[in-house]
Amino acid sequence: MGVSVADRSLADTAKDVATSIYSLILVLILWEVVGQLGLIYYNFLPPLSDILVLFWELTLSGQMINETILTIKRAMAGLAIGIVLGVPIGLLTARNRLFNWFWNPVIAIGYPVPIIALIPVFMLWFGIGDISKIILVAVATFWPVTLNTRDATRTVDENLVWSARMMGTSDRKLLWRVILPAAAPGILTGIQIALPIAFIATFIFEMIAGGGGLGHLQILGARQFKSTQVYAAIIAIMIVGLVFDRGLRYFRNWLLSWE
Amino acid sequence: MAGATSEVSDVLSGELPAPVEFVVRWFPLVIVALLWELASGWVVAESILPAPSAVFLTLVEMFASGELIAALGISLYRVGIGISLSIAVGVLLGIGIARSESVENFFDIFLALLYPVPKTALVPLAILWLGRGTGTAILIIFLACLLPVVLNSYNAARGVDQNLIWSAQMMGTSDRRILWKVIIPDTIPNIVTGIRQAIPIAFIALTGAELIGASDGVGAIILSAGQLGLYPRMFAAIVAISAAAFFVLRGFDEFERRVFVWV
């Protein structure tokens, strides 16, 4: 690790890549061989090539892209609402006595509830459409965002606040220039925790209630014993998860580059 | 807890006797329950939002009939086995990746691929392999809890003081004994942290697995009650699983506080 990038030859890099992915390649080859030879029941584990062919077909026909966009829209709309509600309530809970008194016990009880257990309730209240899914995601992501915002705001150095006050900073400026930047790392941690929850809530709702999306695509595959479709949907889920996880990390580093 | 105490006395200014303080601290929940009770039947139809009192009565009934205890037993059994498996595999994997380059080279890529996948979304795949029921639930809980346990034991094993290992080696301790007597004891606090992170995840995974991939357990009761329109029953089951998650987490904190005084 001490060697600088420039010193490393191409051969070294290739060797590093090879040592870190050889096991994956081995397993993928084994998967294909076992599948092709029919050593394993097709519905459990179809050959990798069959899955990739279906994935490619679904992508070309546009179906995979449509389902993916549907899922992303629901998860992101819900997460956005969760953040818009959670950050201010978390901030106020940390800085305002009345909010603190009211919200602390509510958070203590609400945070551990496995929110996806409310899916049948949401189907009853809001139906099985997009609105219902988005509200569920909002409720599920609200708790981690609120809790982490509250805790991050509580640990903001009071000296910062006092010095800013002393220099005559207005309350509004205090919030935007002092408290929010100081609490930003913790708030972003809350959003990072909320991101997979947003997707889980969306997938599970789609599996139970249908209405398209990657969760629905995957459960249909399982119900109709089209195992290639199950795996193809999981590949898409993996890509979506990877892109959003990495994206949020880059966003975090970019936003906190002053740290 | 000292922090929480001062928060409440902040609102009312002045010290309060413990029972009064307790009531004041948790009173907001009473307000929420009262608003809910009033809303049910007035603002929203009772069939849409059963009153907390009705839900509570149903909850007591389901407990008394033994039905809820049986369902909770099934659900908690799944959580217990799933978490135990993830601890057994996760600790060894985490320590192995931290201490051995060949283990790291082999498993790292799989963990990197598994990491961004929401494991609860793999329920249909688990159904394909194991059918609906306990196997599927345990597999999903195991997968969901594996990474927090691996990551925490990995970080801990990385952080083991190399001097400890060298001293043990110098005294002629075998590699296997170093693992059991030096590395694992030193990593226990972090492993405990990993398990604590895994508990809420386990309940989310359990709920997802039981809603979609099981016909028994509390999650299955929630879904079937919802489909049959037995809403107080549905809410009672949700309260039961949430309470279970809450008390398991609290119980674990208490256990950690009492057992790990030395850390």
Kindly list the domain boundaries of chain B, sorted by start residue.
Answer: 2-48, 60-259
d(CA B34, CA B49): 13
Q: What is the mean pLDDT of chain B?
A: 86
The ipTM is: 0.85
B239-to-A109, A190, B59, B213 alpha-carbon distances in Å: 11, 25, 8, 21
Please give the pLDDT value at position A46.
92
B13 touches chain A (CB under 8 A): no
Of residues A129 and B259, more confidently modeled? A129
The CA distance from B112 to the nearest CA of chain A, in Å, is: 9
Please give the pLDDT value at position A11.
81
Residue B10 has pLDDT above 60, yes or no: no
Please give the pLDDT value at position B1.
35
Q: What is the mean pLDDT of chain A?
A: 90
- Which pTM does this prediction carry? 0.87
Pick from B125, B127, B233 the residue to mutate for testing the A interface (most A CBs within 10 Å).
B125
Instruction: Name, in order, each residue with C-beta under 8 angstroms of B3's C-beta and a sequence gap of 6 or more.
Output: none
Identify the CATH class of A54-255: mainly alpha
Please give the pLDDT value at position A86.
95
What are B259's two structure tokens? 């057992």
Q: Please state which of the ranges A4-18, B62-76, B95-109 shows the lowest mean pLDDT.
A: A4-18
Note whether B186 and B108 are within 8 A (CB).
no
Instruction: Name, in order, each residue with C-beta under 8 angstroms of B83's C-beta and a sequence gap of 6 or more.
Output: B141, B142, B145, B195, B198, B199, B202
Is B32–A106 a contact, with Cβ atoms under 8 angstroms apart?
yes
B30 touches chain A (CB under 8 A): no
CATH architecture of B60-259: Orthogonal Bundle (1.10)
DSSP label at residue B133: S
Is A204–B212 a contact, with Cβ atoms under 8 angstroms apart?
yes
Give the one of B26, B118, B222 whose C-beta lies nearest to A105's C-beta. Answer: B26
Please give the pLDDT value at position B255.
87
Give the pLDDT band of residue B79 (cuts 50, 70, 90): very high
The CA distance from A44 to the nearest CA of chain B, in Å, is: 6
Give the one of A20, A112, A233 whose C-beta lies nearest to B245's C-beta. Answer: A112
Please give the pLDDT value at position A5.
53
- As a whole number, mean pLDDT of residues B185-205 equals 88
d(CA B164, CA A168): 54
Q: Please state which of the ranges A134-138, B40-44, B193-197 shows the lowest mean pLDDT.
A: B40-44
Please give the pLDDT value at position B4.
44
Is B117–A22 a contact, with Cβ atoms under 8 angstroms apart?
no
Please give the pLDDT value at position B261.
65
For chain A, the structural domain boundaries read: 5-40, 54-255
Q: Which residues in chain A land under pLDDT 50?
A: 1-2
Neighbours of B85 (CB within 10 A): 17
Q: Which residues of A143-157 are buried (b: 16+ CB within 10 A; e: fewer)?
A: bbbbbbbbbbbbebe
Provide the number of CB pairs (under 8 Å) joining chain A to chain B.
160
* A24 vs B contacts (CB less than 8 Å): 109-110, 113
Residue matched to tokens 């498996």:
B85
Please give the pLDDT value at position B15.
67
Q: What is the DSSP string of chain A?
A: --S-GGG--HHHHHHHHHHHHHHHHHHHHHHHHHHHTT-S-TTT---HHHHHHHHHHHHHTTHHHHHHHHHHHHHHHHHHHHHHHHHHHHHHHHH-HHHHHHHHHHHHHHTTS-GGGGHHHHHHHH-SSHHHHHHHHHHHHHHHHHHHHHHHHHTS-HHHHHHHHHTT--HHHIIIIIIHHHHHHHHHHHHHHHHHHHHHHHHHHHHHH-SSSHHHHHHHHHHTT-HHHHHHHHHHHHHHHHHHHHHHHHHHHHHTTT-
Instruction: Name, in order, each residue with C-beta under 8 angstroms of A144's C-beta and a sequence gap of 6 or more.
Output: A86, A111, A190, A193, A194, A197
Give the one of B128, B234, B249 whose C-beta lies nearest to A44's C-beta. Answer: B128
Is A113–B4 a contact, with Cβ atoms under 8 angstroms apart?
no
- A51-68 pLDDT tens trace: 999 999 999 999 999 999
For residue A119, the Cα-to-chain-centroid distance in whole angstroms is 18
What are B185's two structure tokens? 């004891």
Residue matched to tokens 């979304």:
B121
- As a whole number, mean pLDDT of residues B33-57 equals 85
What are A181's two structure tokens? 């930047």
* B129 vs A contacts (CB less than 8 Å): 44
Is B123–A105 a contact, with Cβ atoms under 8 angstroms apart?
no
**In 3D, which of A92, A211, A86, A100 has the Cα closest to residue A140?**
A86
Burial class of residue B222, CB neighbours in 10 A (0-12, 13-18, 19+): buried
Amino acid at position B207, single letter = T
Please give the pLDDT value at position A110.
84
| SS3 state of residue B83 | helix
